[in-house]
Amino acid sequence: MTSYKVLDVNDDLPIRTKGPVHSGKVRSVYWLTDEDSARLISEKGYKVPKGTELAIMVISDRISAFDCIWQGENGLNGVPGKGIALNTVASHWFKLFDQAGLAGNHIVDIPHPYVWIVRKASTVKVEAIARQYITGSMWRDYSKGIRSFCGLELPEGLTANQKLDNVLITPSTKGIITGVTDIPEVDDVNITRENITNNLGVFNFKSEDDVAKYEKLLTEGFGLISAELAKLDQIFVDTKFEFGYVEDVDGTDKLIYIDEVGTPDSSRIWDGAAYRDGKIVENSKEGFRQLLINNVPDSDVLLNKDRMDERETLAQEYVLPESVMLAVSDTYVGIASKIVGKDIAIPADPRREVITILDDQYGLITKS
């Protein structure tokens, strides 16, 4: 029996809120009461306008892949240290973005490695994806003869996992976009730059200049992370960023980074030495995806969106060996430790620690 305590359930913490908890695949968001938001802005001196809505964002150790949550044996329904690894890496990149003069982000405080206090942002409905190598779904489509990706034309003769001449921006929809003729009404569908500029309001952009700005922030952020990883002999293959608008202290709207950036969940990261040797060693969730593809009874269930019902049933019934969950933990914690330059400590009881800190230092826990 494992001795690890993972934070697999993160939407039932006794945090005082003004509405229902929003629970995503990995993070849960607790919107604070207006009184608590105002109190913390005053007490902690957060540099946001008065009246800004704040939320507690708690990351979990759950692991999702192919739009499903996966489970381990012995009740290990998460990857030890995964949440802390993701938060630590994203916070590290956000700090470097600030130092480089790129856009800000939605984090106003970090009470605990599993917890961010964030400010409300008006989300841009675009998954901003940048690619430096042809691999994954892009390679699968390319190998079938497809050459046009999100309005960009790729040349003939590319090979699997080859580095591309330029970083490609291949956006997709965030959520379901309705009412646009040439965009299917499904989540996470590839779109072109023209789709966005012709429908600014639909994608929640305030101007065409801001489309160019998100592309600039995406490529500059990608370049910064890529250069830092190269110092560690790691390759930044591709990644997803998200953006949103917040009100600045002077009352103007500004475009910022939201969600997470450059993590093993939102990016592919390859080992440089292995790549030069003709091998692919994944230091990201892609290794877990490949493990599932190679081990489930029918891998088409994972890759075919028309078999989603079967996929969800498979994820509910398929139990991964504890050794697999611990191996994935080694990948996440290992690359995070390498990126931030110090060992990532896995808390003995993350849930208890989070509740204690939010009670003692922030006064946000409701008493039973």
Query: Per-residue confidence at 3, pLDDT binned at 50, 70, 90?
Result: low
Nearest-angstrom CA–CA distance, 199 and 323: 48
pLDDT at 1: 42
Percent of the chain at pLDDT > 70 equals 99
- How many CB atoms are closer than 10 A to CB 227? 10
Query: Per-residue confidence at 124, pLDDT binned at 50, 70, 90?
Result: very high
pLDDT (mean) for 31-57 = 97
Burial class (CB in 10 A: 0-12, 13-18, 19+), 206: middle
Burial class (CB in 10 A: 0-12, 13-18, 19+), 163: exposed
**pLDDT of 212-236, one tens digit each?**
999 999 999 999 999 999 999 999 9
pLDDT at 309: 96
**pLDDT of 139-170, one tens digit each?**
999 999 999 999 999 999 999 999 999 999 99
3-class secondary structure, 335: helix
Query: Per-residue confidence at 186, pLDDT binned at 50, 70, 90?
Result: confident
Query: Per-residue confidence at 250, pLDDT binned at 50, 70, 90?
Result: confident
pLDDT (mean) for 124-128 = 96
Burial class (CB in 10 A: 0-12, 13-18, 19+), 118: buried
pLDDT (mean) for 16-20 = 96
pLDDT tops 60 at residue 2: no
pLDDT tops 50 at residue 360: yes
Burial class (CB in 10 A: 0-12, 13-18, 19+), 200: middle
Distances (CA, A) of 111 to 61, 105, 127, 135, 220: 17, 16, 28, 37, 29
3-class secondary structure, 337: helix
pLDDT at 22: 96
pLDDT at 266: 94
Q: Tokens in use for 338?
A: 């390498």
Nearest-angstrom CA–CA distance, 78 and 265: 14
**pLDDT of 54-100, one tens digit each?**
999 999 999 999 999 999 999 899 999 999 999 999 999 999 999 99
pLDDT at 305: 85
Whole-structure pTM value: 0.94
Which helix (H) or strand (E) segment holds residue 115: the answer is strand 115-119
227-228-234-240 Cα dihedral, nearest 10 degrees: -80
Nearest-angstrom CA–CA distance, 366 and 14: 6
Dump the DSSP string for 199-258. Answer: TTTTTT-S-HHHHHHHHHHHHHHHHHHHHHHHHTTEEEEEEEEEEEEEE-TTS-EEEEEE
